[in-house]
Amino acid sequence: MTVELSNILQPPTSSETPVILAEKVQFAFGEGELRKQILFDVDLAVMPGEIVLLTGPSGSGKTTLLTLIGALRQLKEGNLTVLGRSLRGATLADQLHVRRNIGFIFQQHNLLPFLTARRNVELMFELHPEVPAAVAQQRAEALLRQVGLGDRLDYYPARMSGGQKQRVAVARALAASPKLILADEPTAALDSQSGRDVVNLLKSLARNEACPILMVTHDSRVLDIADRIVHMEDGRIQSSNQSPLMTATDSSA
């Protein structure tokens, strides 16, 4: 049985407003002679329900951009609004608000080795104390079954394959009905069928719950799910497949 969280968690973002709006975003590591600029004047908008794939060679700034959008790094140059909150010079409270409404899927699964698959997923509800424990448990079990791990609920990560661990990570990201999914190579450790199952689940979330997905990927097998493919090189966006939704927004401006 699917657990409905809409009456517990906050409602989705308005469909008339970009969930992500980046304008002239720049980012650099270090200071002075050691300063190395990673991002240059990045402009990007992602609307509710969109699936946007971020492609490009290693070192092009894709993951850095993802961490800025996820409020995992402090933005100092340019403007970035995520889920209605400005992240330039954002307070810790604003950063936490954004993070708790994002589902993160990292390239490495980042599971806690001393917790079972079920408990790793339930852990997301630590950020949502308003959700009853019984509901959290039901939701965790339902998602693990959806990603094909119904027989691994009480397995520890050490007893699971790399692909199984990544599917737990996907279930964890979806657990609290996020308003935005940020994914860094989510299919990298998965075989063809498992990878397809995962992206189909993500696509269903985007379509049914208007939850946008921004995914960094080198996996050509998943390109067909995208509404847009944004290509980055040397810290700059080089090209973007403009979706009809974004074109309509631009023409009305």
DSSP string, 211-239: --EEEE---GGGGGG-SEEEEEETTEEEE
Residue range 172-185: average pLDDT?
89
- Predicted pLDDT of residue 6: 40
Supply the pLDDT for residue 253.
34
39, pLDDT greater than 90: yes
Domain co-membership, 43 together with 91: yes
Same domain as 212, residue 88:
yes
Instruction: Of 230, 227, 220, give the one whose Cα is nearest residue 245.
Output: 227
Residue indicated by tokens 């992602």: 46
Clarify whether residues 26 and 72 are in a common domain: yes
Residues 90, 118, single domain; the answer is no
Please tell me whether residues 68 and 45 are part of one structural domain: yes
Q: Which domain holds residue 151?
A: 110-177
Straight-line distance from the first to the last Cα atom of the chain, in angstroms, rounded to the nearest whole number? 44
How much of the chain is helix, strand and coil, in % rounded to 5? Answer: 35, 25, 40
- Both 159 and 213 in a single domain? no
Residues 62 and 167 placed together within one structural domain of the fold = no
164 and 224 inside one domain = no
d(CA 160, CA 206): 28
**Which pLDDT belongs to residue 5?**
45
Stronger pLDDT, 108 or 152, i.e. the higher one:
152
CATH number of the domain encompassing residue 219: 3.40.50.300
Token pair, residue 96, equals: 């936490």
The answer to whether residues 42 and 68 belong to one domain is yes
**Can you tell me the distance from the alpha carbon of 4 to that of 101, in angstroms, rounded to the nearest whole number?**
16
Structural domains counted in the chain: 2
Q: Which amino acid is at 246?
A: M
Q: Is residue 226 part of a domain?
A: yes
The identity of residue 64, as a single letter, is: T
Q: Where does 65-141 show beta strands of DSSP type E?
A: 77-82, 85-86, 102-105
Among residues 177, 206, 230, which one ends one of the domains?
177
Residue 95, domain member (yes or no): yes
- Encoding tokens for residue 22? 């980046």
Domain boundary among the residues 177, 206, 221 is at: 177
Asked, for residue 1, whether it belongs to a domain, the answer is: no
State the DSSP H helix or E strand holding residue 42, giving kind and residue range, or none if neither. strand 36-46
User: Could you tell me which residues come within 8 angstroms of residue 60 by beta carbon, excluding any fewer than 6 positions away?
Assistant: 232, 233, 234, 235
Question: Is residue 248 predicted with pLDDT exceeding 50?
Answer: no
Question: Is residue 11 assigned to a domain?
Answer: no
Give the global pTM.
0.81
> Strand, helix or coil at 194?
helix
Percentage of residues of the chain with pLDDT beyond 90: 40
Angstrom distance (rounded) from CA 52 to CA 48: 11
- 65 lies in some domain: yes
Both 183 and 165 in a single domain?
no
Q: What's residue 119's pLDDT?
A: 94
Counting Cβ atoms within 10 Å, is residue 132 exposed (0-12), middle (13-18) or buried (19+)?
exposed
Of 129, 160, 177, the last residue of a domain is 177
Is residue 8's pLDDT more than 60? no
pLDDT tens per residue, range 46-81 = 998 899 999 998 888 999 999 999 999 989 899 999
Are residues 184 and 173 part of one domain? Answer: no
